[in-house]
């Protein structure tokens, strides 16, 4: 994805396709935010750049274990995420397509990671989620960690380093809300700023 539209979260970066923001280095994918004045393809000037990569149109999944081993950036104002959207996003929009946040880490909370689902009637600040807070004094960004969901027909479970920390089922949704996690989703990886 390209541009600096704020992406529905008042984000401060412009996403680019430049190798300074996303590249393969030593066999690992690197996403990197930079403080710099940049005008994106959408004509919006921003004070930060970063990358947002997606598999839409290339690969998608319905059910199974989805995981990535990640080393997260450190710092207040950074918001790295590993997440999924329904492949029907382009036709029915968000949140009806469904969103599974496999991992979100808010820089001002260095000991915590979040896992959340968003759908019609439970989106934005009303998303249904859980979190894991490290208790050993080591921050989440100090090392590589394995983040995963195990996604089944009527259940999604969240793990960090194979430790289960949250589960959601249709019974977890607000009364009358629709379970929208029954079709293919594509992956996204990004580092937001702000």
At 88-123, the pLDDT tens digits run 999 999 999 999 999 999 999 999 999 999 999 999
Instruction: Reply yes or no on whether 32 is catalytic.
Output: no
Catalytic residue among 32, 35, 104, 150: 104
Beta strands 13-15 and 45-50 are: parallel
Instruction: Reply yes or no on whether 99 is catalytic.
Output: yes
Helices (H), the chain: 89-92
Catalytic residue among 32, 36, 99, 150: 99
CB 149 within 8 A of CB 66: yes
pTM score, whole prediction: 0.97
Cis peptide before 112 (omega within 30 of 0): no
CA-to-CA distance for 178 and 180, rounded, in angstroms?
A: 6
At 136-194, the pLDDT tens digits run 888 999 999 999 999 999 999 999 999 999 999 999 999 999 999 999 999 999 999 99
pLDDT of 126: 97
């Amino acid at each position: 994805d390209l541009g600096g539209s704020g992406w529905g979260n008042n984000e401060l970066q412009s996403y680019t396709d430049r190798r300074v923001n996303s590249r393969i280095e030593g066999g690992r994918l690197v996403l990197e935010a930079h403080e710099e004045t940049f005008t994106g393809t959408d004509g919006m000037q921003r004070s930060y750049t970063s990358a947002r990569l997606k598999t839409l149109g290339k690969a998608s999944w319905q059910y199974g274990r989805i995981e990535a081993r990640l080393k997260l950036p450190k710092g207040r104002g950074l918001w790295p995420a590993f997440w999924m959207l329904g492949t029907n996003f382009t036709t029915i929009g968000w949140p009806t397509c469904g969103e599974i946040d496999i991992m979100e880490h808010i820089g001002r909370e260095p000991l915590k990671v979040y896992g959340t689902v968003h759908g019609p009637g439970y989106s934005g600040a009303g998303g249904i989620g859980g979190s894991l807070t490290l208790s050993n004094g080591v921050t989440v960004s100090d090392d590589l960690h394995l983040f995963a969901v195990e996604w089944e027909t009527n259940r999604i479970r969240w793990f960090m380093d194979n430790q289960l920390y949250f589960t959601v089922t249709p019974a977890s949704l607000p009364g009358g809300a629709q379970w929208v996690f029954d079709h293919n989703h594509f992956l996204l990886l990004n580092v937001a700023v702000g």
